[in-house]
Structure formats: C-alpha cells, structure tokens
Amino acid sequence: MKSISILSMAVVFLFAACSDDDKSSKPAGYDPLEDYLTEAGLIPQDTLVDAGDYEFGISFRAAVPGNITAVVVKLPDNETNIRITIWDAETETVLRTETVSTVKAHKEKTMSIDPLPLEADHDYMITFNSDDWYDFEREDGEPVVYPIEAGPISVLGYSYFTGVAQSFPNSPQDTYYAGNLSFLFKVLPD
C-alpha cells in the first residue's frame, strides 16, 4: 500500500512539473516582452475582464534574420480559442494565424509553432483578439518614445483595432500598452 502511495505521488508530481506554465519547458528563443516593458518604463496598472473586443499588439523589427518559434500569451481570465495573428506591417497582410486553444487566468501559455522566418530590418506586427487584458502605463504618465530596443528586436509601437474582425490595428497609442502577448525569436546561425 505504501509503494502505491509513493507511486501515486510521483505521478502527480510528474504531471504538475509538465504544466503549461512551466517556464523550464519553454522552447528555446528570445522573448522581447519583458525587455520592452522594462525599457519603455511600462508597469502594470490595471486588469480588465470582459472590457470589449479588440485586435491589439505590437509592431516590431528584427535586427538579424531569424524565426518566430512560439507565441506567448497571458490573460486575466480563462479563455479558449485565442486568435493570434502575425502580420507583415509594411503591407498590412496576414503572414500567419495561430489559435491557442486554452488560456488559464493569470497563467502564461507558450505554444510552439512551425517556424516563421523573419527578415532583418522588415516591419512586422503580432496581435491577438480578446476582451481581457492587462494594462501597462508609465509611472510618470509620459508617452513611450519608440523604438524600444529589446535584444535583437526593436519594438516600433503599440496599436489596436476595435471589434472581433481580424483587421490590421490602425489606432496607435504611446501612453500605454494593453495585452500580454509576445513570441519567441530564434536567431538564424551565420
């Protein structure tokens, strides 16, 4: 009986160790979000749930060629089927649409994707559609001055589009960042 209890505890521990938000199991790659928020001076201000539907995210440029290998999202509410879009920001066309099947409230979810090649010095955008998000602002209330250097990624701005349509965000904002969406970028070898 004692060996069954130990075996049961080991199985429970194994499943807990393999959870979706276990950062040690994150695929390799650079996530620019933390550096962007830090360098821009953006800090959490509010949590919004069921606050209206928006397509929103950041535009960015890679300093070197590489691949997006995963998308990363964190929301303040449980959600299913989160649409994430990666755009060619220069032509405002969709390069890739990914769907994250489930996101648990306040838990970061990383989903590996087929590698999406990025060219150096080309403008892209990553967005998601949601009615839940975290709001970040500067403590001094001043606007963010773009671009923000975040490792091999330059964040060029934040923008949104109101509604559920998969439409290119056309309302740039420099006084806040809403969301918690990012990606993993893997630099190509020389």
pLDDT, tens only, 148-188: 999 999 999 999 999 999 999 999 999 999 999 999 999 98
Strand ranges in 49-130 using DSSP code E only, listed in sequence order = 54-62, 66-73, 79-88, 93-103, 109-118, 123-130
User: What is the structure's pLDDT at 28?
Assistant: 81
Residue 79 has pLDDT above 50, yes or no: yes
- 3-state SS, one letter per residue, for 7-36: HHHHHHHHHHHCCCCCHHHCCCCECCHHHH
The C-alpha angle 86, 88, 94, rounded to 5 degrees, equals: 55
Q: What's the pTM?
A: 0.85
Q: Report the CATH fold assignment for 28-187.
A: Jelly Rolls (2.60.120)
Residue 23 has pLDDT above 60, yes or no: no
User: What is the structure's pLDDT at 189?
Assistant: 83
- Please provide residue 33's backbone torsions phi and psi, each rounded to the nearest 5 degrees: -60, -50
Q: In terms of Cα–Cα distance, which of 103, 113, 121 is closest to 49?
A: 103
